[in-house]
C-alpha cells in the first residue's frame, strides 16, 4: 500500500517565481513591436526581462491579506473620528485649509497614478515588472478612495471641499501638481516608472506623508494621520519599485546610463518644485508645527537621498546638479511661496493670513539666517495693514514658468533679493522659466513643453469664463467670472470672519456647552 507523501511547502522565493514567471510568452503570429509598441520607444536596451527581481516578492494572496488588515485598522479610526465629532478636535479652523489644498492638489494625483501604472503594466513585456505595476495601480486607486472618504467628513461642516476634481483641472495653482503628472503620463513607460516610483514616491511623498502627516496628527486631525500613514506603508514598496527600475535598466546595457541620468536630473527637480506647496503648508498653514520645511528636507532628502545616490553611484549615476540650487533655496522656499499665495489669495480655494507673533518667532528660530532679515518685515507690514482693514489682494495675474507652472517668484541662487528669470526662443515664440533647471528641461524637449496649458495665458485669452460670458459688457468683473468657472464660492476673502471660522467657533461652542 502506497503511503501518501506530503508535498514540501514552497519557499517565499519559489512561490514568488511561480506567481510572476511563466505568465507571458513569446509571440509567434504577431510581431513583438505590435504587441508592445512602447517597449523600445525610449531607446532603452533590455536584454533579459527575467533578471527583474522584486525585493518584497509580494504575491497576490499575500497582498490582499496585507491590505485587508490595513483597511480594517484605517476605517476603524475614520469611523471613530466621525462618530466623536473629530472635526472639533483640530487646533484651529485655519488648519482646514491644508486639507482643502491636499484634497484638490494631491488626491487626484493618486488616481492619475492608478491609471498610469495600469497602462504601463500593459506595455511592459516582463512578467515580474507587470505584476509589480498591477499591485501599485491597485494601491493608488485605494489611496484616492480612502482620502476622499476620510475628507468627506469635513465636507459636512465646512466650505471649500466640493468640486475638488473640477478644480484640479482648472485652478491656476493646481496646475503645478497636475502638470507634473501630465508630463509623466505623456512620457514613455520607463520614464513614467522613474518619474512616479522614484521622484513622486521617493522625493515627494516621503516629505508629504511623513513630516506633514505627522503635523496633521499633532493638530488633532486623526483622519489625515490615518490615511496618510496607511498610504505611506505602501510607498515603501513603491519606492523600491522605482529603485529596482533604475538598477534593472542600468544593469541591462551601459548605453542606458545617459538616458537614465537625464531622467533622474529632470524628475528630481520636477518633484522638488511640486514640493513648494508642501513647504508652504508645513511652515505657514499648520497652527501647531512639528518641524520646519528646511528640517524635513534635510532629513528626508539630504540624508536619505544622499544615501540613495551613493548606492546608485556604482552604476554611474551622479547626484543631479539641481541639488546644489535646492540647498541654496531651502532657507527661502516656503516664505516666497506663502507670500505669493497671500498676494493672490482672492483667486484661491483656501484662505491665507498673516502669521501671529509667536508663529513668526518660531519661523525665526528655524530660519535664523534668512527670516528676520528678509521676510519678517514684510509679514509684519502685512499684519499691520490687515488690522487696519487694508488686506492686500493682487487682482492681476502673474507670469508662470513654462515647465513647473509656478509663478515667477523664486530668487536667484545665492541672492534672495533678485527674482530669477530665464528665457528661451522656440519657433518664433519666447518662453519664460523660473530657473536654469526648468529652462534645461524645456530645451531638451521643447516640442512637448511649448504646448503646456498655462492657466494665466488661458484666462487672458478668455478661455476660463463660464459658457455664455460676455467680457465686453459694462462692469464685467473678470476675477468673479474666473472664480465662477473654477466653482470657487468664497463667502469671505479674509479668513477672519469667514464661514469656516464662524462654523468652527459655533460647533465648538455648542460642544462645550453640552
Q: Which residues face 422 on adjacent strands? A: 433
Cβ–Cβ under 8 Å, residues 482 and 501: no
Separation CA 200–CA 274 (nearest Å): 9
Confidence of residue 2 (pLDDT cuts 50, 70, 90): low
pLDDT tens, residue by residue, 257-305:
999 999 999 999 999 999 999 999 999 999 999 899 999 999 888 887 7
- Residue 461: burial class (beta carbons within 10 Å; 0-12, 13-18, 19+): exposed
Confidence of residue 500 (pLDDT cuts 50, 70, 90): confident
pLDDT for 28 equals 85
Element (H, E) at 412: strand 411-412
pLDDT for 361 equals 97
What is the DSSP code string of 416-443? EEEE--EEEEETTEEEEESSHHHHHHHH
Q: Is 402 helix (H, G, I), strand (E, B) or coil?
A: coil
Residue 55: is its pLDDT beyond 80? no
- Residue 183: burial class (beta carbons within 10 Å; 0-12, 13-18, 19+): buried
Residue 395: is its pLDDT beyond 70? yes
Burial pattern 213-250, b for ≥16 Cβ within 10 A else e, equals: bbbbbbbbbbbbbbbbbbbbebbebbbbbbbbbbbbbb
Separation CA 207–CA 283 (nearest Å): 13
pLDDT tens, residue by residue, 352-374:
999 999 999 999 999 999 999 99
- What spatial distance separates the first Cα and last Cα of the chain, rounded to whole Å? 78
Burial pattern 491-507, b for ≥16 Cβ within 10 A else e, equals: eeebbeebbbbebbeeb
Q: Which residues face 419 on adjacent strands? A: 411
Rounded average pLDDT over 203-222: 82
Mean pLDDT of the chain: 88
Cβ–Cβ under 8 Å, residues 287 and 91: yes
Element (H, E) at 107: helix 107-123
pLDDT tens, residue by residue, 407-449:
999 999 989 999 999 999 999 999 999 999 999 999 999 999 9
pLDDT tens, residue by residue, 226-245:
888 888 778 777 777 778 88
Q: What is the pTM of this model?
A: 0.91
Amino acid at each position: 500500500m502506497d503511503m501518501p507523501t506530503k508535498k514540501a511547502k514552497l519557499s517565499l522565493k519559489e512561490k514568488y517565481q511561480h506567481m510572476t514567471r511563466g505568465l507571458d510568452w513569446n509571440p509567434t503570429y504577431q510581431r513583438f513591436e505590435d504587441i508592445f509598441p512602447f517597449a523600445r520607444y525610449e531607446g532603452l536596451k533590455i536584454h533579459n526581462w527575467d533578471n527583474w527581481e522584486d525585493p518584497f516578492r509580494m504575491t497576490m494572496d499575500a497582498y490582499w491579506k496585507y491590505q485587508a488588515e490595513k483597511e480594517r485598522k484605517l476605517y476603524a479610526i475614520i469611523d471613530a473620528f466621525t462618530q466623536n465629532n473629530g472635526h472639533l478636535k483640530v487646533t484651529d479652523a485655519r488648519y482646514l485649509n491644508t486639507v482643502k489644498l491636499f484634497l484638490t492638489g494631491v488626491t487626484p494625483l493618486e488616481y492619475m497614478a492608478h491609471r498610469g501604472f495600469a497602462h504601463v503594466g500593459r506595455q511592459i513585456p516582463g512578467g515580474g515588472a507587470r505584476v509589480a505595476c498591477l499591485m501599485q495601480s491597485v494601491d493608488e486607486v485605494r489611496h484616492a478612495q480612502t482620502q476622499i472618504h476620510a475628507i468627506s467628513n469635513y465636507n459636512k461642516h465646512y466650505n471649500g471641499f466640493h468640486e475638488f476634481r473640477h478644480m484640479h483641472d482648472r485652478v491656476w495653482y493646481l496646475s503645478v501638481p497636475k502638470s507634473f503628472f501630465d508630463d509623466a503620463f505623456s512620457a514613455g513607460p520607463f520614464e513614467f516608472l522613474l518619474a512616479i516610483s522614484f521622484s513622486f514616491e521617493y522625493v515627494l511623498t516621503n516629505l508629504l506623508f511623513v513630516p506633514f502627516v505627522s503635523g496633521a496628527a499633532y493638530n488633532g486631525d486623526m483622519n489625515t494621520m490615518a490615511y496618510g500613514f496607511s498610504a505611506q506603508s505602501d510607498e515603501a514598496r513603491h519606492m523600491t519599485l522605482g529603485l529596482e527600475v533604475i538598477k534593472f535598466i542600468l544593469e541591462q546595457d551601459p548605453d542606458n546610463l545617459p538616458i537614465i541620468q537625464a531622467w533622474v536630473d529632470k524628475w528630481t527637480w520636477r518633484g522638488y518644485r511640486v514640493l513648494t506647496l508642501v513647504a508652504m503648508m508645513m511652515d505657514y498653514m499648520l497652527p501647531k508645527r512639528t518641524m520646519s520645511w528646511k528640517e524635513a528636507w534635510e532629513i528626508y532628502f539630504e540624508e536619505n537621498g544622499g544615501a540613495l545616490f551613493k548606492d546608485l553611484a556604482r552604476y554611474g549615476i551622479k547626484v543631479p546638479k539641481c541639488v546644489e540650487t535646492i540647498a541654496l533655496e531651502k532657507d527661502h522656499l516656503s516664505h516666497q511661496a506663502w507670500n505669493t499665495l497671500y498676494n493672490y489669495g482672492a483667486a484661491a480655494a483656501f484662505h491665507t493670513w498673516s502669521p501671529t507673533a509667536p508663529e513668526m518667532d518660531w519661523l525665526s528660530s528655524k530660519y535664523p539666517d534668512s527670516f528676520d532679515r528678509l521676510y519678517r518685515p514684510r509679514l509684519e507690514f502685512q499684519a499691520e495693514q490687515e488690522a487696519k482693514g487694508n488686506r492686500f489682494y493682487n487682482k492681476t495675474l502673474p507670469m508662470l514658468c513654462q515647465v513647473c507652472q509656478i509663478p515667477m517668484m523664486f530668487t536667484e541662487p545665492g541672492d534672495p533679493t533678485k527674482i530669477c528669470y530665464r528665457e528661451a526662443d522656440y519657433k518664433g515664440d519666447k518662453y519664460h522659466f523660473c530657473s536654469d533647471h526648468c529652462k534645461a528641461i524645456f530645451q531638451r524637449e521643447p516640442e512637448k513643453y511649448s504646448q503646456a496649458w498655462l492657466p494665466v495665458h488661458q484666462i487672458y485669452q478668455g478661455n476660463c469664463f463660464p459658457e455664455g460670458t460676455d467680457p465686453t459688457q459694462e462692469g464685467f468683473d473678470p476675477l468673479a467670472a474666473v472664480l465662477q468657472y473654477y466653482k470657487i464660492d468664497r463667502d469671505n476673502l479674509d479668513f477672519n470672519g469667514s464661514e469656516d471660522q464662524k462654523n468652527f467657533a459655533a460647533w465648538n461652542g455648542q460642544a462645550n456647552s453640552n
